[in-house]
Each structure stands twice: as C-alpha cells, then as structure tokens.
Amino acid sequence: MWTLNAFPPNPPLPPKKPLKPKPLLLHSLSKSGHLDEALSLLLKSHPPIPPTTNLEAYSHLLHSFITHKSLRHGELLHRHLLHSTPSLLRHPLIKSKLITLYSVCARIESARLVFDEDDDDEPSWTAMVVAFSKNGLHEDSLSLYAGNASWRSDFADSAVLKSCSVLSAVRLGRAVHARVLKSAREPDQVVLNALVRLYVKCGTLDEALKAFDGMPQRNVVSWNSLLSGFVDRGFFIECLDLFRRMQIESSVGFSWVTLTTVLSACSQITALYNGREVHAQMVKSREEPDIVVLNSLMDMYAKCGVVEYCERVFRGMGGHDLTSWNTMLTCYAINGCARDALELFDEMVGRGVGVKPDGVTFVALLSSCAHAGFVDEGRRLFDRMDVEFGVRKKVEHFACLVDLLGRAGLIDEAFEVAEKMPMRPGGSVWGSLLNSCRLHGDVKLGEIAAMRLFEIEPNNAGNYVLFSNMFARERMWEEAEKVRVAMEEKGLKKEVGRSWVQVGSRIHSFVAGGGVSFRSSSEYKKVWEELVEAMEREGYVPDTDVVLHDVDEGTKAEWVCGHSERIAVVFGLVNSGDGIPIRIMKNLRVCDDCHNVMKVVSKVTRRLIVMRDTNRFHHFRNGACSCGDFW
DNA sequence: ATAGGGTTAG
C-alpha cells in the first residue's frame, strides 16, 4: 500500500495507445465492479466488437450485473440487445442470465416476460423455476417444474424442493426424490439437503432421519437443514441433542446459521445454559459474528430473562439493524422494563441512527406500557405511530391499546376502542378484554367479551379456561363449573400444560399431572414436605377450589401434584445447589394459585425463580413477582 | 462462470 511519503517519483510516461475493447479488459472491468465503464466500453466501442466475441462479452457482463444485483445496467443491456442483436436474446446463455438477473432484482414479471418470449430451453427453464421459488411464487415454480418431464437439473430440483417444503407438497417432493434416485449420476449434495428439509418440515421424522443418515456425506447445510426443521416442528430438545451430536461426530464445524438456529431453540425453551455455551463457541471461534447471529443471541438472553446480557450484546455489536432494536425493545417489554423501552425508543429515533421503526417496534412499546400501566405514554405512542412515524396501525396495535386500557381498569374505554376500530377486532382483542375483566372482576363485561370471542374462535379451549378463571377468581364456582362443562360438551380439550426447567446442562420437561416417577422419589417428598411446612408458616393456603386444574379429582387437593410448573420448580430445587436461580418455561398462562406458590417458594428458599409464560416473564424474588400480580 | 441449499425480532 502506498502512503503519501512513499509515493514513488513519476515514471516516464508510456507511449499512448488507443484503448482497445478487448474482452479481457471488459472482463476485468466488470469483475472489479466498474459496471458503468464496462457497459459503455461494450456499447460504444469503435470499432464494434466482432460478433463472435459478443456472446462471451455479454455473458460476462450479465454475470457481473447478477452478482451486483444491478437492475439498471441489466435493463440498459437488455434494451441494447433488443435494438442491436435480438437474436442473442434467444440464446440460452443470455436468456437464462437475463432471467436470473431479473430474479435476483426481485423483478419476477420481467423475468417471466423474457422467459415467455420464445421457445424454451433447459437453462432458461431452470433459471425460471429457480426464479419463481426465490421470489416466493411457489405454486408457479411447482407447475413449471411439473409441466416438463424431460428436463432435469440439480438446480431446478433443489429450487422446486424448497417450494415443495413451503407448500407442504410432499407428493411432488417424493416424485422429485424418485427422479433423483433413478438418475444415473451421483445425487447432488444440495438436492439431498433440500430433501432433508422437505421431510423434516412436512414428512415424518423417520423419513427425515432416513434421508439425513442415508446421505453419502453431510456438509454444514445438511446439519443446519435438520436443525432448523426440528425448531420449526417444535422439537427443541432434539435440536440441542443434534447440535451436540454435530460437534462430536462431524468434522464440518458450524456456521453462523447453525448457531442462529440453535439459539432460537434455546430461547423457546429458556435453555440459558445451552445458550451460554453457544455464546462461548462464538467467542472462541474468533470470527466476526454476523448481525443475524448476534440478534439471535440477544433474543436468547431476552427470552431467558437475562436483560443485562441482552443489553451487553446489544451495546457491544458493531451495528444495529431494525431487528436488533426491536429485539432489545421486546426484551424490555417481556421483562417488564417499560422505562428502559421508552428511553431506548428515543435513542432509536434520534439523530443519526438511520433505522425506521415498524409495526413490531410499536407492539413492543405498547405492550411495555400496558404491562407497566403507563396509560398516557401508551396512548401518546399509539397516536404518534402513524402520523409521526408513518407506521400503519394494524389489528395487533389496537389489541395492545385495548390491553393497555383494560389492564389499567379503563374497561369501558377499552370496549369502545374494540367496537370502533377500523378492522375486525379478532380474537386477540376480545381475549385481552376478557383478561382485563378477569383482572378487575368485571364479570358483566367479561361475559360480553367472551361471547364475541367464542364467535370468532369457537374451538379455542384457552378462551374457555380464561372465562372460567374469571368466575373462579370471583369465587363464582357455579358459573366457573358451567363454563368448564360447556367446554367439555363441545369436545374441547385444554392444551396439555407443560414446563421446561434447566438443570445443569440439561432441559427437563414436565407435563401437568405427570412426572410420576420423579414425584415418588424420596428426595422429592422431602423437599416437598419442607416446602409445605415453610409455606404454611408463611400463611399460604392452597386454593383447591380453582377449577380447571388439568388433573383428576383425586389429586386436585395435593397442591404439588398438579400444574407442571410446580413439579418443575421442585425438580429444580432438588437438583441444583443453593442460590442457583431456577428458570422455568411454561407453555400456558400461569394460574393464580401457581403464581402464589412461586412467590412463597422464592421467599422460603431464597432463590430467584424466573418463569416465562406465554406472553411475559415473572421474576419471583423474596416473595414478590416483577409482574406486580398483573398478568 | 448459467444457476442452487440452511438463519433472527411480534
């Protein structure tokens, strides 16, 4: 590299030579990204480039335009060809590259026009199948592919398999699979990976594992395909196990995509320990992590309730995209840090940041305000979001506003919003109103909200549970029971309550009413008896009347046998040392009684209990919960 | 050198 001081003395000027438009020069210009120069060299050269080299020259140029996604240059060249040598547009090489160029520039209609112009050829057909798939026109990809039985290419196969997995078109996927197997050639790695993704997404797990284990070799994408499929299907523990297996038996290492996927699994089951391990891997790899994996890392800490680490990652990363900001805001929202959320938003929309808030941003802000009872701030943000920030109000924002008002006890006003909003309210709005009525004991309005809710979501058992709990909270046992009976008569089953608890490096999962073997262990009994004693001293009275406990009558009275989070917390106490926080993830809303139990347990054991339920965190510390008993 | 695969926030 030259510095100013080291600049060498001027060399003698070489004799001036006329610039000749050699393909070599063209090539190096386009390769180095000088697209303007390359294009004008080609179009304006005198004498013109001989026709025999045109094809090669145009093809090089188009390739550069594709890699630079330069629509402008591509269109210029396209127009030039139309005027000068339209015959070249029919050449498979040129035609397929033009299709690809339009595809990578998201101009699918232009690509389609180029394709439809003339007779098909295999390269253009392939490019078009890929183009449809890449641009989300999966049906078109399928029908173009299926409409041609004679052509086959690995590129078309992998693209159409991707579309098949999006559309769950397993039948066509299997047909492609059969073609691949029948072909004389070695199956292509990318196609095999796409098959794994297809089967894990919409086949049986057996089929997916068979496809995976049957591969002659597996690269990092093969592993990632299976890992991300597990996450899609909710097999989080399987994802973590597979990641472990990947590190032990595979020499392919991992990519940021691997870690992003694993982190997403961690955050969905609050697997903080595993998430930390992934974080350590990132640090150890000494590579610069990309923004996607850093965002996922933030999300993992956020969903595990470790706000401070989420902040640390956020502050330490090189730059922030919209997702980074939204993840940080969401972290504050679900962890009950409304003040921090509002401050961060000011920073986000301040000078020089360069991101624009979107709908997600305002969901985070409005729900922060709702949880904290910041009615005025929330209302103001709701008013500002479209006029000041140009973000269109959608149904979820109205739902947040209704939640904000309803939680604060302004139930009439919340109802008015629900009834006057410009779109159909939807289940989330009436559901949130019903929850507000439950919180404030407004049984009359609660009944109205419930009726609206049942019209929209007649088969959602969770709504009946909420409705019944509203009565139960008011000690209206008969009504609560009636709702429960109505639910059973409709054949609706409450989703099985499930909790996950982290102990050491492992996640353990417990089902409501289940966990028999652990519950009959002597350690469990000992801890349980101690807890009952301590809790009685604290004045805790088990609420055995709470209906809809998802256990049978006989065990209802045994407080510790019912809900999965209770089993999980005792398991955590038994299996972790003094002072170690216990982290629980729950798939349903926590009930009043369990919430009381957790508060007392946190006090008598002096442990921090962090519990995530379907929509927020509860940090139980010394007998109190961060949610202020408001959820 | 015609072109491809796996990923994050509500």
Residues A495 and A588 sit within 8 Å (Cβ to Cβ) = yes
Residue A94 falls in which region: left (phi positive, over 0), alpha (psi -120 to 50) or beta: alpha
Residues A270 and A584 sit within 8 Å (Cβ to Cβ) = yes
The structure tokens listed for A252 are 């392919």
CA A102 to C1' B2, whole Å: 14
DSSP A161: H
Name the closest nucleotide to A96, judged by C1' and CA: B2
CA A126 to C1' B4, whole Å: 10
Report percent pLDDT > 90 for chain A.
Answer: 48
CA–CA separation, A4 and A137 (whole Å): 54
Name the closest nucleotide to A331, judged by C1' and CA: B9
Q: What is the pLDDT of residues A487-520, one digit of tens each?
A: 888 888 877 888 888 888 788 888 877 656 676 7
Residue type, A67: T
Can you tell me the mean pLDDT for A461-489? Answer: 86
CA A175 to C1' B3, whole Å: 22
In Å, how far from its chain's centre is CA A618? Answer: 22
The structure tokens listed for A203 are 């086949």
Q: List the A609-612 sheet strands across, edge first.
A: A506-511, A498-503, A582-586, A609-612, A617-621, A624-625
Report percent pLDDT > 70 for chain A.
Answer: 87
Q: What is the maximum span of chain A, computed from C-alpha positions, in angstroms? A: 103
DSSP A563: S
- Chain position carrying tokens 């009685």: A536
Name the closest nucleotide to A330, judged by C1' and CA: B9
Please count the residues of chain A. 631
Can you tell me the mean pLDDT for A615-619? Answer: 85
Looking at residue A517, its pLDDT comes to 65
Name the closest nucleotide to A103, judged by C1' and CA: B3
E-strand ranges in A169-305 read none
CA A554 to C1' B4, whole Å: 59
Question: Is this prediction's pTM over 0.85?
Answer: no
Can you tell me the mean pLDDT for A239-261? Answer: 94
pLDDT beyond 50 at A556: no
Q: What is the pLDDT of residues A391-419, one digit of tens each?
A: 999 999 999 999 999 999 999 999 999 99
